[in-house]
């Protein structure tokens, strides 16, 4: 069995790495530890590297088909193995990433003036995906009580009422963008929660587009349920967006899958991306297939490392920085920090983390109104990196007096 050392520090500077090489531009500081954008500072699985190396040996990189049969089979097998979900090959539409797929879904299933639901605080590309297509954001804010996020079902149902908040009849809700596991809140929505949401959305004739890119990054005791697997009705009224990019650290290779069982919805999705969005690139498909077929040993070890980093982070904040509260996640390696006790507005908090602590985090206000007073930290890194970041935050907080 290959043993991976996730605590080995490997420099990514001067490699055209967005996380590290853009840090000074993004945060305005030279000596800053970047722990923002969602990729890992750990080496990827050896079988993926080997598969990519083998493909480069065939020195032809011209136009390719959308996805070879072997890649489609790898996706089907993984859905069956992980979720007991029997999918058909024609249901799979390959895209170069989940964010382009979400933008495309809004384009495919709405008209300008329609409304699209999401749940604030939310992964920040959701906002422009809706608004850039001429649609209105119908915000169903999550409820945060005792450090735990839950869904406001009454508000969700009310979003579909034409008179709600003076919403014109022409701007009715056509779809909901779901994030599961939730980014940045870290919730892994339960079967019961998904069922309640789905019943409201589907009953009102809307489509559920479910971003499940973090579905394999789960902490102990939690299980991911794909929205589409709950019922045939949900399956036929949904688009499931998945990718190996977050799980196996492959974002730079641009390959994702969208599972669309309904033929009409699938045709609309494909037509919307025609001439604008390509499929995945050659190497992305190679990496996807290798990850899904041979990445589980690496993933099991990484999840142990991630759990250890989370446990360390929680203990550190509780013992040394109690003014900052950890929203304990159920999934993802992106941890949501409640900094409201520092009594700073969003600009002051961002400047504090950037210039005083010198730790580059994703600032909460970017995730919507409910994100003000919060910060998001990426713990997919060696422990020494995490320790240094927390020491810097502790020192900065202590200097506040």
Q: What pLDDT, in 10s, does the model give residues 29-46?
A: 999 999 999 999 999 999
Domain spans of the chain?
A: 18-45+296-398, 61-294
Q: Which of 111-120, 273-282, 333-342 has the lowest mean pLDDT?
A: 273-282
As a whole number, mean pLDDT of residues 366-386 equals: 98
As a whole number, mean pLDDT of residues 154-180 equals: 81
| Contact yes or no for 115/135 (Cβ under 8 A) | yes
Q: Tell me phi and psi for residue 328, to 5 degrees.
A: -65, 120
pLDDT in tens, 207-246: 999 999 999 999 999 999 999 999 999 999 999 999 999 9
pLDDT of residue 279: 82
- Residue-wise over 136-157: b if at least 16 C-beta within 10 A, else e? bbbbbbbebeeeebebeeebbb
Calculate what percentage of the chain has a pLDDT beyond 90.
94
**Residue 314 is inside which H or E element, if any?**
helix 296-320
Class of domain 61-294 as given by CATH: alpha beta
As a whole number, mean pLDDT of residues 49-74 equals: 94
pLDDT of residue 172: 86
Q: Which of 79-93, 120-134, 157-171, 359-373 has the lowest mean pLDDT?
A: 157-171
pLDDT of residue 344: 97
Class of domain 18-45+296-398 as given by CATH: alpha beta
Residue with the two structure tokens 């492959």: 250
């Amino acid at each position: 069995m290959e043993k991976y050392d996730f605590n080995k520090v490997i420099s990514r500077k001067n490699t055209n790495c967005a996380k590290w090489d853009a840090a000074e531009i993004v945060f305005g500081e030279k000596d800053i530890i970047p722990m923002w954008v969602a990729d890992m500072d750990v080496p990827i699985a050896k079988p993926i590297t080997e598969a990519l190396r083998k493909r480069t040996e065939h020195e032809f990189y011209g136009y390719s088909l959308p996805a070879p049969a072997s890649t489609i089979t790898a996706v089907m097998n993984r859905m069956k193995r992980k979720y007991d979900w029997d999918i058909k090959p024609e249901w799979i539409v390959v895209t170069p990433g989940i964010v382009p797929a979400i933008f495309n879904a809004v384009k495919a299933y709405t008209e300008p003036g329609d409304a699209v639901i999401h749940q604030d605080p939310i992964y920040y590309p959701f906002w422009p995906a809706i608004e850039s297509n001429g649609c209105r954001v119908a915000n169903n804010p999550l409820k945060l009580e005792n450090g735990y996020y839950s869904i406001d079902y009454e508000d969700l149902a009310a979003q579909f009422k034409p008179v709600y908040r003076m919403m014109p009849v022409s701007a009715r809700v056509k779809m909901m963008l779901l994030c599961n596991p939730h980014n940045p809140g870290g919730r892994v929505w339960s079967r019961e929660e998904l069922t309640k949401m789905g019943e409201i959305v589907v009953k009102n004739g809307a489509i559920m587009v479910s971003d499940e890119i973090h579905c394999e990054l789960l902490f102990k005791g939690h299980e991911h349920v794909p929205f589409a697997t709950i019922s045939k009705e949900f399956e036929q009224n949904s688009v499931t967006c998945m990718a190996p990019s977050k799980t196996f650290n492959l974002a730079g290779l641009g390959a994702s899958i969208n599972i669309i069982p309904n033929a009409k919805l699938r045709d609309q999705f494909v037509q919307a991306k025609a001439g604008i969005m390509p499929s995945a690139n050659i190497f992305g498909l190679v990496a996807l297939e290798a990850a899904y077929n041979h990445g589980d040993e690496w993933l099991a070890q990484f999840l142990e490392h991630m759990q250890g980093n989370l446990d360390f982070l929680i203990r550190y904040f509780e013992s040394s920085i109690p003014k900052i509260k950890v929203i304990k996640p159920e999934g993802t390696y992106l941890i949501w920090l409640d900094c409201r006790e520092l009594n700073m507005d969003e600009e002051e908090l961002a400047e504090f983390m950037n210039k005083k602590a010198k730790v580059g985090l994703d600032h909460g206000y970017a995730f919507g109104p409910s994100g003000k007073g919060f910060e998001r930290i990426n713990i997919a890194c060696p422990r020494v990196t995490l320790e240094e970041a927390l020491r810097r935050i502790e020192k900065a907080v202590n200097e506040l007096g």
